[in-house]
């Protein structure tokens, strides 16, 4: 009994139009030689001038690629099926030679610990050099991601951010130093990256990522690492990446917990398969409101850098279809399997979102109730107090914030306890609620109004505005 050889359509004209041949042979090499010997016109299409099998000719024994077996030495037995399977390559540009950039002597030395890794090597390092990675946000997550990607030799790093370095950033945003406070984040990021690795091209986009510019910016990059801290931008990045077919390396952090995944709609689920809709506006506090352990973005951002490098180099198993959950207090990693949602509005079978939408509206931002005349500035409160007006200042922050600093004489009731402790307040008093920046105090105002308090206002900008404008010796946080 002979070995069956399946011939692909493009080669059938050379074997009298047949799709199957039967030949005797003990190894793949022997069979192919016999095949080319009997059908001489076939030879040049299977073998290059140097006698080696052409790179785009793939041979399978039964279901296995001979490259994963013993190449042409792979043994075959009667009854086996050998299939010749084309891979098809091409493209513009005249040069047949390797299009990848060369590594300089300096780069070979710099990346030597990569080059001796079997899964990276010179090929992988060239892929990193040719790669273009976009970091959305140069903050907590973007900082470690940018540093490690730059150090690893990613050829081009794009950075999108429009913020200025603030002192409160320094606890975790390690791209920026104390001397950079007050300057644009992109400037200090560029300086730090250039110092770390001058081979990296830094492209900066000093803008908020919007539905108008996202496609144009993201289109120019191979991989996107999302380090945003808000839902509108996260959905925007996701949708733009799905529409453009780019992998989106996602990370997010809150207090002591973090998440990471790779959303790549071509091969797995996207962010919307996981969270079809954003949480109601204001439900999930940002880092500024909820706090975050400074090392946490270091861990999650480094995981994003790691996944980005794996995608570029093609090593290992990417975090596609898996959601990694990290709990810093328990020091525990857990993993959830993510399924692609066939009804996903962006990457499902019948997508309803086929272009970018208004993400602020989608996330319910701007739809919050407006309280005209219900807020008051720090200066106005100070003037009223100086004029002898009786005001009840109501601090609705959390106890640990109260410990950091508070306004003398203020009544302290955390927002969560307010509904149960309304009896501690006089509903005829003139109340001014305050929190850190002014968001929670509006919620407190809402609760008080609903309970029949007539004269309630909220301190605009919270205790932070008070520290800036009135009590200048008060610490800010």
Partner 1 sequence: MTLVLDPRHAAAIGRHGEADYPAEACGLIGGAIEGDRKIAVQLVPLANGRTDSARNRYLIDPESFRRAQERLDRDGLEVIGVYHSHPDHPPAPSAFDREHAWPWLSYAIVAVAQGRAGELKSWVLADDRGAFDEEAITIEERKAVWQ
- Please identify every residue annotated as catalytic: 287, 435
Instruction: Identify the DSSP state of 167.
Output: G
Phi and psi (nearest 5°) for 235?
-70, -35
- Which of 20, 44, 112, 207 touches partner 1 (CB under 8 A)? 44
Q: Helix 378-386 to helix 462-469 angle, to the nearest 10 degrees?
A: 70
**280-289 per-residue burial string, b: 16 or more CB within 10 A, e: under 16:** eeeeeeebee
50 binds partner 1 (CB under 8 A): no
Task: Spell out, one character per residue from 129 to 158, where the chain touches partner 1: x when CB under 8 A holds, - when not.
Answer: -xx---------------------------
- Which of 5, 7, 14, 158 touches partner 1 (CB under 8 A)? 14
Count of beta carbons in the 10 Å neighbourhood of residue 347: 25
13 binds partner 1 (CB under 8 A): yes
Check residue 316 and give left, alpha or beta (phi > 0: left; psi -120 to 50: alpha): left
Do 348 and 284 contact (CB within 8 A), yes or no? no
90 binds partner 1 (CB under 8 A): yes
- Tell me the H-state helices in 314-429: 359-362, 378-386, 399-404
- Which of 18, 266, 330, 421 touches partner 1 (CB under 8 A)? 266
| Closest CB to partner 1 among residues 99, 104 | 99
Q: Among the candidate windows 83-91, 286-294, 299-307, 378-386, which touches partner 1 by CB under 8 A?
A: 83-91
330 binds partner 1 (CB under 8 A): no
Task: Spell out, one character per residue from 279 to 318, where the chain touches partner 1: x when CB under 8 A holds, - when not.
Answer: --------------------------------xx------
| Closest CB to partner 1 among residues 41, 454 | 41
Q: Among the candidate windows 54-62, 224-232, 280-288, 460-468, which touches partner 1 by CB under 8 A?
A: 54-62
- How many residues sit in the footprint of partner 1 (CB under 8 A)? 39
* Nearest distance, CB of residue 11 and partner 1, angstroms: 7
The sheet with strand 64-65 has its strands ordered as 20-23, 3-6, 81-86, 57-61, 64-65
259 binds partner 1 (CB under 8 A): no
- Which of 81, 86, 282, 414 touches partner 1 (CB under 8 A)? 86
Compute the C-alpha angle 122/124/127, nearest 5°. Answer: 110
Query: Whole-angstrom Cα distance, residue 255 to residue 251?
Result: 14
* Nearest distance, CB of residue 13 and partner 1, angstroms: 5
Residue 201 belongs to what H/E stretch? Answer: strand 201-205
Task: Write out the E strands in 421-464.
Answer: 431-434, 456-459
* Nearest distance, CB of residue 63 and partner 1, angstroms: 9
- Residue 84, helix vs strand vs coil: strand
- Tell me the H-state helices in 24-81: 28-38, 40-46
| Closest CB to partner 1 among residues 14, 148 | 14
Do 426 and 392 contact (CB within 8 A), yes or no? yes
354 binds partner 1 (CB under 8 A): no
Query: Whole-angstrom Cα distance, residue 166 to residue 173?
Result: 10
* Nearest distance, CB of residue 96 and partner 1, angstroms: 5
89 binds partner 1 (CB under 8 A): yes
The structure tokens listed for 282 are 């204001």
4 binds partner 1 (CB under 8 A): no
* Nearest distance, CB of residue 252 and partner 1, angstroms: 25
Q: Provide the binding-site residues for partner 1, judged by CB under 8 A.
A: 8-14, 41, 44-45, 55-56, 58, 60, 65, 83, 85-96, 99-100, 127, 130-131, 219, 222, 245, 266, 311-312
């Amino acid at each position: 009994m002979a070995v069956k050889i399946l011939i692909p359509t493009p080669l059938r004209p050379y074997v009298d139009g047949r799709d199957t041949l039967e030949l005797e042979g003990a190894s793949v090499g022997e069979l192919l030689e016999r095949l080319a010997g009997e059908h001489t016109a076939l030879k040049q299409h299977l073998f290059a001038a140097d006698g080696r099998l052409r790179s785009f000719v793939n041979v399978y024994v039964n279901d296995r690629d001979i490259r994963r077996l013993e190449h042409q030495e792979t043994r075959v037995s009667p009854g086996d099926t050998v299939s010749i399977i084309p891979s098809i390559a091409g493209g513009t540009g005249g040069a047949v030679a390797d299009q990848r950039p060369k590594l300089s002597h300096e780069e070979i030395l710099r990346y030597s610990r990569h080059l001796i890794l079997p899964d990276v090597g010179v090929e992988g390092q060239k892929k990193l050099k040719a790669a273009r990675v976009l970091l959305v946000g140069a903050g907590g997550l973007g900082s470690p991601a940018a540093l490690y990607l730059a150090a690893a030799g990613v050829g081009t790093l794009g950075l999108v951010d429009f913020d200025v370095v603030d002192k409160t950033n320094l606890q975790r945003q390690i791209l920026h130093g104390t001397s950079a406070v007050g300057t644009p984040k992109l400037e200090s990021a560029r300086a730090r990256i250039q110092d770390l690795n001058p081979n990296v091209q830094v492209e900066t986009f000093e803008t908020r990522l919007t539905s108008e510019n996202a496609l144009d910016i993201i289109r120019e990059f191979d991989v996107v690492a999302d380090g945003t801290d808000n839902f509108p931008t996260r959905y925007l990045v996701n949708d733009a990446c799905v529409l453009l077919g780019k992998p989106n390396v996602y990370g997010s952090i809150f207090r002591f917990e973090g998440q990471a995944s790779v959303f790549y709609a071509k091969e797995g689920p996207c962010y919307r398969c996981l969270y079809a809709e954003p949480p109601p506006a204001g439900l999930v506090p940002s880092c500024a409101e909820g706090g975050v352990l400074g090392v946490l973005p270091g861990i999650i951002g480094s995981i994003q850098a790691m996944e980005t490098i794996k995608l570029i180099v093609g090593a290992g198993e990417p975090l596609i279809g898996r959601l990694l959950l990290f709990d810093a207090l328990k020091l525990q990693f857990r993993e959830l399997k993510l399924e692609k949602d066939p009804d996903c509005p962006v990457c499902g079978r019948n997508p309803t979102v086929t272009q970018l939408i208004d993400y602020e509206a989608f996330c319910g931002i701007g739809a919050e109730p407006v309280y005209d005349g219900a807020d008051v500035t720090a200066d106005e409160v100070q003037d009223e107090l100086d004029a002898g007006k009786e005001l009840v200042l109501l601090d609705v922050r959390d106890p640990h914030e109260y410990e950091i600093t508070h306004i003398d004489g203020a009544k302290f009731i955390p927002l969560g306890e307010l509904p149960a402790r309304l009896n501690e307040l006089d509903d005829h008093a003139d109340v001014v609620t305050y929190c850190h920046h002014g968001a929670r105090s509006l919620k407190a105002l809402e609760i008080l109004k609903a309970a029949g308090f007539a004269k309630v206002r909220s301190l605009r900008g919270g205790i932070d505005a008070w520290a800036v404008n009135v009590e200048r010796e008060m610490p800010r946080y």
